[in-house]
A = this chain, B = another copy of it.
Amino acid sequence: MSQAAEATLLVRALRREPVERKPVWFMRQAGRSLPEYRELREGAPMLEMCRTPDLCAEVTLQPVRRHGVDAAIFFSDIVTPLEGIGIDVEIQSGVGPVIAEPFRSEADLARLRPLEPDADLPEIAEAIRIVTAELGDTPLIGFAGAPFTLASYLVEGRPSKSQEMARTMLLEEPGLFRNLLERLADIAVASLRSQVEAGVQAVQVFDSWAGSLSEATYREAVLPVSQRLFAEIEDLGVPRIHFAVNAGHLMEAMAEAGSDAMGVDWRTPLSEARRRLGEGVALQGNLDPTVPLAGPEVLERETRNLLADAPERGHVFNLGHGVLPSTDPGMLTELVGLVHEITEKRN
């Protein structure tokens, strides 16, 4: 048990403590880039899979076995809790989450009852227990969708280019939109608390669509709700990561939501992120996800460049967005080795 008593590489890096080498994991490391996933998945609807603890655990473990990454991320989808409270949502292949009856008015709020993880989604805690038992010393990361991003799915009914209907509702009915965000924050908090109780050692909150907002709108309409979300999971004592893509203009505002680490997309150099955010927050990222598609020479050059530009303390290596489905998994395995080799402190 002496191993378990010491915090993992991932957790220490997220707390900006010294590490003997940089931890590395990849957003979407589980899933379509892996042949063993595609084989297992064959025919099973995504959300059904998320409700099957054995399958879900197996898919979560696959990239750890294959790549030797320093963390697993629980395999699920940010809309799973919505399905858990009875929203009719389906993940359509090649599209993403599709909501049968999009949210359009005050009356729809009633459909967002509080999430009771033990009753609504018992499969998730069960899958987490299976995974953590198998993982041994490797930590498991849990996650949730941020209120604005979940609200966008609910209002638009499907993924959209710039969340126009959601942003229109925000302008036209700010009170209703705020209520929607508050309820979604409650759902995220309940989901994350239950994941931590079941064994995850860190959590990541995805505000994937926040980048469609101006900083002023984000600060006024979204930040207070996301602040509450992070505050209400602080007592759990696990590091909290906050991530959005294509939201460089919101970096300072999003950091004020109060996470321990900020995920950085590939468009913002890590040295710039460090300069803009200061020393008080760890950084996670941010190799361009197309780099592993461009051959081993490019991979090594870009990885070395990135590590030379990254902060020494408080950095978790990751891609700047999810693994692309067309990625050769061999390149990701190579990348893990490369990061370990370059960052390892020889004593």
Binds B, one of A20-28, A180-188, A235-243, A284-292: A284-292
B-side contacts of A172, CB under 8 Å? 293-295, 298
Residue with the highest number of chain B CB atoms closer than 10 Å, among A289, A290, A298: A290
Are A164 and B324 in contact, CB atoms less than 8 angstroms apart? Answer: yes
Are B214 and A268 in contact, CB atoms less than 8 angstroms apart? Answer: yes
Q: Contact partner of A267 among B214, B266, B267, B291, CB < 8 A?
A: B214
B-side contacts of A267, CB under 8 Å? 211-215, 249
A290, B173: Cα distance in complex, Å: 13
Are B171 and A291 in contact, CB atoms less than 8 angstroms apart? Answer: yes
Q: Contact partner of A249 among B268, B291, B293, CB < 8 A?
A: B268
Known: A213-B267, A214-B268. A288 touches B167 (CB 8 A): yes
Q: Is A269 an interface residue (CB 8 A)?
A: yes
Q: Is A216 an interface residue (CB 8 A)?
A: yes
Q: Contact partner of A168 among B211, B213, B294, CB < 8 A?
A: B294
- A175 to B: closest C-beta gap in Å: 14
B-side contacts of A52, CB under 8 Å? none
A162, B298: Cα distance in complex, Å: 19
Q: Contact partner of A288 among B214, B293, B295, B321, CB < 8 A?
A: B214
Are B214 and A298 in contact, CB atoms less than 8 angstroms apart? Answer: no
Of chain B, the residue at the smallest CB distance from A218 is B267
- A232 to B: closest C-beta gap in Å: 29
A298, B170: Cα distance in complex, Å: 11
Q: Is A62 an interface residue (CB 8 A)?
A: no
Are B290 and A171 in contact, CB atoms less than 8 angstroms apart? Answer: yes
Q: Is A246 an interface residue (CB 8 A)?
A: yes
B-side contacts of A298, CB under 8 Å? 171-172
Are B246 and A211 in contact, CB atoms less than 8 angstroms apart? Answer: yes
A194, B266: Cα distance in complex, Å: 38
Q: Is A248 an interface residue (CB 8 A)?
A: yes
1/0 contact string of A150-181 vs chain B (CB within 8 Å): 00000000000010100110011000000000
Can you give 13 A-B contacts (C-beta < 8 A)? A162-B246, A164-B293, A167-B288, A171-B293, A172-B293, A172-B294, A172-B295, A172-B298, A211-B267, A214-B266, A214-B288, A216-B269, A249-B267
Given A164-B293, A214-B268, A214-B269, 8 other A-B residues pairs in contact with their CB atoms under 8 A:
A164-B324, A167-B290, A168-B294, A171-B288, A171-B291, A171-B293, A214-B267, A215-B267
